[in-house]
Amino acid sequence: MKHVVVIPDGATDHPVGELGGLTPLQAAKTPNLHSLAAKGVVGVTHTIPEGMPPGSDVGNLSVFGYNPAQHYTGRGPIEAASMGIPLNSRDVVYRCNLVSTDGERLLDYSAGHISTEDARTLIQYLDSKLGGKRFNFYPGVSYRHLVVWREGDPNQRCVPPHDIQGQPIRGKLPTGEGEEKLRSLMWDSLELLDGHEINRRRRDAGLPPANMIWLWGQGFALSLPPFSVQYGLTGAVVAAVDLVRGIGRLAGLHVVDVPGATGYLDTNYLGKGQAAVQALNQVDLVVVHVEAPDEAGHRGDFEAKIDAIERIDGQVIGTLLDGLSQLEGGFRMLVMPDHPTPVDVRTHVAEPVPFLIYDSTNERSGPLVPFDERALEESKLRIDEAHRVMGAFLRGEERGA
């Protein structure tokens, strides 16, 4: 028996007026998901424990089967694990976005989804100017980078930049112990980056400059029990973003690199599906994460979200189904978003999500509960804590839950 988990990041949403009151997930053409729902079970769960921030870090820990209330320390340390950054027990890791600003407002949380090559140059430049014994800058992918405060203090309130796009900066800067050090880094980065050659070139091309850093998601290093010990299976992760790759590494799963996987709307959907099928020749379980619906939600672009969901259905899930049909022993598939990212609010919300479980050896027939937001009202299958879904999925217990 092989197992596949598909995470369409932020895929669930609110009704959209332009879609006649449908959500993007309801409006999307998803024949594969519809077929799986008709022959499987659709339930409802909460990926964000009460009182915790509705971030992809918390949500994806839940999907992977780890209780965020027990393990979560912050987003930065998870991404540091993906990047192989050495940490001691007192180092604090911050997520570091390259953002666009006019000096007063945060204009774009992703600096126009700057290329990884240009971003690396800017982050390395900042490290040469602002780095040292206390702070170090580490380049990641596109706008997503890290800063490590050696022997630092994580006790600040830091606001995710995608929550404040278009809003004034000054009321959203870090507050709490050590705030002055973090604020200085952020303002110094603006002074250094605003006139940088890369940003002069971006402005000439009509692109937003990557002219400031934004620090958030801080925490100390964390550890996770190995997935093989927790669940008794070997596994792999197919993902572009360091957050999900980091969870995979911390869980002892093999992390698969896919050419053209960008963590954005233009990612290599087909390549992810193909890589997952190949990985199943060596492991028992593969997790496939696709960031694109979340990015569309942050943009407030319901058409882009529909397109991303349809590509996941056709090129990721369709490719998986074709490949899995060639394997002996049958398979189970779990499809579950890590949280909603509604286009009307353009950020994550701590609302329940539907999940879909299909078992090729135990197909069912009966009334259809669709895999979309209607399940929140129609499904009788409720697993309140999402980190428990993984165990039910692997043990085939969801029908009696």
Q: Please choose, from the candidates 208, 26, 215, 36, the residue with its C-alpha nearest in 3D space to the C-alpha of residue 112.
A: 208
Identity (one letter) of the amino acid at 278?
Answer: Q
Cβ–Cβ under 8 Å, residues 24 and 359: no
pLDDT greater than 50 at residue 401: no
> In whole angstroms, what is the distance from residue 401 CA to residue 96 CA?
41
77-111, pLDDT tens digit by residue? 999 999 999 999 999 999 999 999 999 999 999 99
Interval 226-281: pLDDT, tens? 999 999 999 999 999 999 999 999 999 999 999 999 999 999 999 999 999 999 99
DSSP β-ladder status, 144-149 and 156-157: unpaired
- For the chain, give every domain's residue range: 2-71+224-400, 82-219
pLDDT of 366: 75
Banded pLDDT at 179 (limits 50, 70, 90): very high
Going by C-beta distance under 8 Å and a sequence separation of 6 or more, which residues neighbour residue 380?
none
For 279-303, write each residue's pLDDT tens digit.
999 999 999 999 999 999 999 999 9
What mean pLDDT value characterizes the chain? 96
pLDDT(400) > 70: no
**pLDDT single digits (tens) 361-385:** 999 887 789 999 999 999 999 999 9
The predicted pLDDT at position 364 comes to 87
Q: What is the pLDDT of residue 367?
A: 78
pLDDT of res. 225: 96
Q: pLDDT-derived band of residue 327, with 50, 70 and 90 as boundaries?
A: confident
Q: What integer pLDDT is reported at residue 399 of this predicted model?
A: 57
Which residues contact residue 130 at a Cβ distance below 8 angstroms, ignoring those fewer than 6 apart? 137, 185, 188, 189, 192
Question: Which helix (H) or strand (E) element contains residue 71?
Answer: helix 68-71
The CATH topology of domain 2-71+224-400 is Alkaline Phosphatase, subunit A (3.40.720)
Percent pLDDT > 70 in the chain is 99
Residues 140-151: tens digit of each pLDDT: 999 999 999 999
Average pLDDT rounded to a whole number, residues 137-142: 96
Q: 209-228: per-residue pLDDT in tens?
A: 999 999 999 999 999 999 99
All residues at 6 or more sequence positions from 164 whose CB lies less than 8 Å from its CB, including other chains: 106, 109, 172
